[in-house]
């Protein structure tokens, strides 16, 4: 199991760190659009939707890293009331329940994903990218990343494996 935990954790951190590239590219494209609009007088038809897709990709891919670093927003007041030992057990239950919720999300998104893969949908704008197809597929992928990391968290102690979180809030 420790190989599984190590592999999934590394994968989550890798995808999480890759998200930074998507954000930087999106920032660059936004500036490019302003430049094209005012300096060149030629606003583009594709940057807005491309930025949206880049940011959405980062949002979806980061879920493993957020879970691995245990950064999902959680109310932890009960820890003060029940003590660390019982809280530790409650956290395991919380992970199992989270797995149920995420599994539900994957099941919900599965059929719509198959539908758009068989008959791809586009956004219908002037640029007309296949954004709905992409987003629905990526959401399922993100759901699996989330689930795999939750399973890994179930078998790891509370502290995240990657200690870079110490410098974050």
Partner 1 sequence: MGIEFITLAIVLSLFTLMAIGVPLGASTLIISVSAAYLSFGPNGFILVTSAVTKVMDKQALVAVPFFVFMANIMERSGVAKELFDSMAILGGQMRGGVAVQTCVVAVILAAMSGIVGGEIVLLGLIALPQLFRLGYDRKLSIGSLCASGSLATLIPPSVVLIVYGAEAGVSVKDLFTAGVGPGLLLASLYITYVLIRVRLNPAMGPAYDAPEAALPFFQRLAFLRGLILPFLLIFGVLGSIYGGIATVTESAAVGAVGALIVAAARRELSIQKIREALWATTLTTGSILWLIIGAVSLVGIYNILGGTRFLGGLLTGLEVAPIVVIIIMMGIVFFLGMFLEWIAIVFITVPVFAPVVVQLGYDPVWFGILFAMNIQIYMLSPPFGPACFYLKSVAPKDVTLQEIFLAVLPFIGLQIIGLALVMAFPQIALWLPGL
- The contact set with partner 1 (CB under 8 A) reads 16-17, 19-20, 23-24, 26-28, 30-31, 33-34, 38, 48, 51-52, 55-56, 58-60, 62-63, 65-66, 69, 71-79, 87, 90-91, 93-94, 97-98, 100-102, 104-105, 107-109, 111-112, 131-132, 135-136, 139, 146, 164-165, 167-169
Q: Find the shortest distance in angstroms from Cβ 3 to partner 1.
A: 25
Give the closest residue to 6 by CA, choosing from 94, 68, 88, 96.
68
Q: Which is nearer to partner 1, 5 or 15 (CB)?
A: 15
61: buried, middle or exposed (CB in 10 Å: 19+, 13-18, 0-12)? Answer: buried
Separation between Cα atoms, residue 132 and residue 3, nearest integer Å: 36
Q: Find the shortest distance in angstroms from Cβ 18 to partner 1.
A: 9
80: buried, middle or exposed (CB in 10 Å: 19+, 13-18, 0-12)? Answer: exposed
Q: Find the shortest distance in angstroms from Cβ 29 to partner 1.
A: 8
Give the closest residue to 149 by CA, choosing from 71, 87, 88.
71
Q: Find the shortest distance in angstroms from Cβ 125 to partner 1.
A: 11
């Amino acid at each position: 199991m420790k190989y599984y935990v190590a592999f999934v954790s590394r994968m989550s951190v890798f995808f999480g760190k890759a998200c930074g590239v998507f954000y930087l590219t999106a920032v660059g494209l936004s500036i490019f659009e302003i430049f094209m609009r005012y300096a060149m007088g030629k606003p583009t038809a594709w940057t807005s939707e491309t930025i949206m897709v880049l940011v959405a990709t980062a949002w979806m891919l980061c879920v493993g890293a957020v879970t691995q670093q245990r950064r999902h927003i959680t109310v932890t007041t009960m820890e003060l009331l029940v003590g660390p030992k019982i809280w530790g057990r409650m956290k395991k239950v919380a992970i199992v329940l989270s797995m149920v919720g995420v599994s539900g999300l994957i099941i919900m998104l599965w059929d719509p994903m198959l539908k758009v893969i068989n008959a791809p949908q586009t956004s219908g704008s002037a640029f007309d990218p296949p954004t709905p197809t992409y987003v629905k597929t990526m959401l399922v992928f993100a759901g699996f990343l989330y689930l795999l990391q939750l399973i890994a968290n179930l078998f790891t102690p509370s502290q995240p494996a990657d200690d870079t979180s110490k410098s974050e809030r």
